């Protein structure tokens, strides 16, 4: 294409400078998942071994799709809806699907930001509120639920969520969560009130501050006892784990969702660039920075997890030391953590029956390191527990939750952009409606719908949205995106577009990925994901104080009505793709039959229609 179809048709907002665009794109791609999802996958999949399939997925799936979105958005200078409708009216539903998915993801994502605010506000207390159990109602002892679990678990499940024991029991609105939710959406509105003009200023802080905090945490974490154990655990590869196909599947899905592909936000952000801009370099910078952040962020996280595991391991040994000291009347300070193994071997060899009867705890450092947690469990349970053991715990808690807040906020910018810009292009609101009013209306509707997440069952619904909205819909959307650009728009035309923007055509690596490798990987991941999910009925972990194995969570199957909602959440965003395609096919058929029926040899219009029908495509 020699000229953009929209060139000069309507003046489009522009970034003040290239730095704003890059920071916004990086901030959108780098989110909470980089800090709490990637370390979890490394932990359960053999440490450094997981990085290999992760980097392969980045090279052959993540970067090609990211480059494609940035290039097509910059060339056509439209949002996700306009881009796909411009390529072919049959693909108009792809942009609508991206808009719906962005909206659904925003609903639960900002709820997590609200929880982060709740913890941030409580991080100023001395002592930290999750450091000790509260008294019972009679003030005669500690709360039973807290004693059975831990103070950290109690603060999360009872004080923060006030969670119900079943997803079918909604409970009431928790006013503190409502206040935090309104606050989180208010911050999003303030930052987005002027569109890219205001978020372009906000990203100078939200996109850079997390790196400052991660660096501070890295320096502090490396000085903690046990940090080395955590890092050895992270970087020691278990090569056998690579034989497990689920490792490759999770690596492919992690890099896909980590880059925020198929949301529509990246397409919208790149559309504000000048047409002559090196989008290939932009894609490489954003993609590599995102993955490097995941690895960089894992180092302090694993150092702190190693510290937590070492502390738990030492506490375990000290309990055993106390038991052995009392039973065998050993002088105090004779048996220590350092010489415990020698003493234990001596007693176990000399008095095997008596040692066996003592029921000593099994203290294995690797078992403590293996205790994995992902998502909210890592942020609000594991990390908050580790912070308690660190000197100056308030400072570290405040820094950690500010970092999570800025990570979540910068990702929300892309989500909201993926909603507002398509709404304008679909003409869902009149042109005279100010941007501030439209943004406020979207935020208000989001708050009202998001109240479901502030109920007693709210955490269960966050997990449902996170597991199912952010899965199959993205894979399907991305597949149609790459098919639309490469096989409908055409590889030849797309290469010419890139040459027009960057001064050179894409090399064989990009072409091979777009035409063969990436579509096949998307299909394989999609089919594998569906097969794995279809093998078992979906379940969820419920926090039930009456459960016989409490404080372990009780695994329950979802009720049928919840399962129906899960299906709707997966299917609803994708319905627009076939509906819009069928609508345009019917409309095209009706127009052709109408044109043929109106031909008249005595009128010049007949010649114009006939020549229009046979006019070759550019």
- Rounded to whole angstroms, the Cα distance separating 425 from 593 reads 29
CB count within 10 Å of CB 245 equals 11
Q: What angle do CA 68, 72, 75 make, to 5 degrees?
A: 140
Beta bridge partners of 554: 542
Helix ranges (DSSP H) in 123-208: 144-148, 151-154, 175-192, 196-206
**In whole angstroms, what is the distance from residue 90 CA to residue 116 CA?**
42
Q: Which of 41, 124, 28, 137 is nearest to 73 (CA)?
A: 28
Where does residue 8 fall: left (phi above 0), alpha (psi -120 to 50 degrees), or beta otherwise? left
Residue 328 corresponds to which tokens in the numbers above? Answer: 């065998």
What does the block give as tokens for 570? Answer: 């997966």
* Binding-site annotation, residues: 27, 29-30, 34, 258, 290, 407, 411
> How far does Cα 147 stand from its chain's mean position?
33
135: DSSP letter: B
Classified as helix, coil or strand, 136 is coil
Residue set of the binding site for Na(+): 27, 29-30, 34, 258, 290, 407, 411
> Dihedral through CA 196, CA 202, CA 207, CA 211, nearest 10?
170
Tokens of 192: 């987005």
Q: Is 351 helix (H, G, I), strand (E, B) or coil?
A: coil
Tokens encoding 394: 């308030």
Residues whose CB falls within 8 Å of the CB of residue 582, separated by 6 or more in sequence, listed in order:
none
For β-strands 554-557 and 539-542, DSSP reports them as antiparallel
**How big is the CA angle at 55 (ends 51 and 58), to the nearest 5 degrees?**
140
Q: In this structure, what token pair is assigned to residue 533?
A: 């999910």
């Amino acid at each position: 294409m020699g000229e953009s179809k929209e060139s000069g048709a309507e003046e489009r907002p522009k970034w003040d400078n290239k730095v704003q665009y890059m920071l916004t794109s990086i901030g959108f791609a780098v989110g909470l998942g980089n800090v709490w999802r990637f370390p979890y996958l490394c932990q359960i999949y053999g440490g450094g071994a997981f990085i290999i399939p992760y980097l392969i997925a980045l090279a052959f799936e993540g970067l090609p799709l990211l480059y494609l979105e940035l290039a097509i958005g910059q060339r056509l200078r439209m949002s996700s809806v306009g881009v796909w409708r411009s390529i072919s009216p049959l693909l108009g539903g792809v942009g609508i699907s991206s808009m719906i998915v962005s909206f659904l993801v925003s609903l639960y994502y900002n709820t997590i930001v609200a929880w982060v605010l709740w913890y941030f506000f409580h991080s100023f207390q001395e002592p930290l509120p999750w450091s000790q159990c509260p008294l019972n109602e009679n003030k005669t002892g500690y709360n039973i639920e807290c004693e059975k679990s831990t103070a950290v678990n109690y603060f999360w499940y009872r004080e923060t969520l006030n969670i119900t024991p079943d997803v079918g029991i909604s409970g009431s609105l928790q006013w503190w969560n409502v206040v935090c939710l309104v606050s989180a959406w208010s911050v999003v509105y303030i930052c987005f009130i002027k569109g890219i003009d205001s978020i372009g200023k906000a990203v100078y802080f939200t996109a850079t501050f997390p790196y400052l905090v991660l660096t501070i945490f890295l320096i502090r974490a490396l000085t903690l006892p046990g940090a080395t154990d955590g890092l050895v655990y992270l970087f020691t590869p278990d090569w056998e784990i690579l034989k497990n196909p689920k490792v490759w599947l999770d690596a492919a899905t992690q890099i896909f969702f980590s880059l925020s592909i198929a949301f529509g936000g990246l397409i919208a952000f790149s559309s504000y660039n000048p047409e002559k801009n090196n989008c290939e370099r932009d894609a490489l910078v954003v993609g590599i920075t995102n993955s490097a952040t995941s690895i960089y962020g894992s180092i302090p996280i694993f150092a702190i997890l190693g510290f937590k595991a070492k502390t738990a391991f030492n506490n375990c040994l000290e309990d055993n030391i106390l038991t052995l000291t009392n039973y065998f009347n050993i002088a105090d300070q004779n048996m220590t953590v350092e010489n415990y193994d020698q003493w234990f071997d001596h007693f176990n060899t000399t008095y095997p029956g008596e040692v066996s009867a003592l029921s000593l705890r099994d203290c294995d450092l690797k078992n403590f390191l293996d205790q994995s947690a992902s998502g909210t469990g890592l942020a609000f349970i594991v990390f908050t527990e580790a912070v308690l053991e660190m000197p100056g715990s308030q400072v570290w808690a405040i820094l950690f939750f500010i970092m999570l807040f800025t990570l979540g906020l910068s990702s929300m910018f892309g989500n909201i952009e993926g909603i507002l810009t398509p709404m304008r292009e679909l003409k869902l609101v009149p042109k005279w409606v100010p941007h501030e009013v439209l943004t406020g209306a979207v935020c208000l509707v989001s708050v009202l719908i998001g109240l479901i997440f502030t109920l007693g069952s709210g955490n269960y619904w966050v997990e449902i949205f996170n597991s199912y909205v952010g899965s199959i819909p993205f894979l399907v959307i991305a597949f149609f995106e790459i098919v639309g650009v490469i096989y409908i728009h055409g590889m030849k035309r797309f290469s010419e577009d890139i040459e027009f923007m960057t001064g050179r055509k894409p090399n064989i690596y990009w072409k091979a990925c777009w035409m063969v490798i990436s579509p096949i990987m998307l299909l394989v991941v999609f089919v594998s994901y569906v097969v794995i999910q279809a093998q078992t009925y979906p379940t969820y972990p419920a926090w039930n104080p009456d459960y016989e194995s409490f404080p372990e969570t009780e695994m329950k199957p979802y009720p049928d009505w919840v399962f129906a909602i899960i299906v709707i959440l997966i299917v609803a965003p994708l319905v627009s793709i076939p509906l819009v395609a069928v609508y345009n096919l019917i409309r095209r058929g009706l127009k052709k039959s109408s044109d043929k029926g109106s031909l008249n040899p005595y009128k010049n219009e007949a010649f114009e229609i006939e020549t229009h029908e046979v006019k070759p495509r550019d």
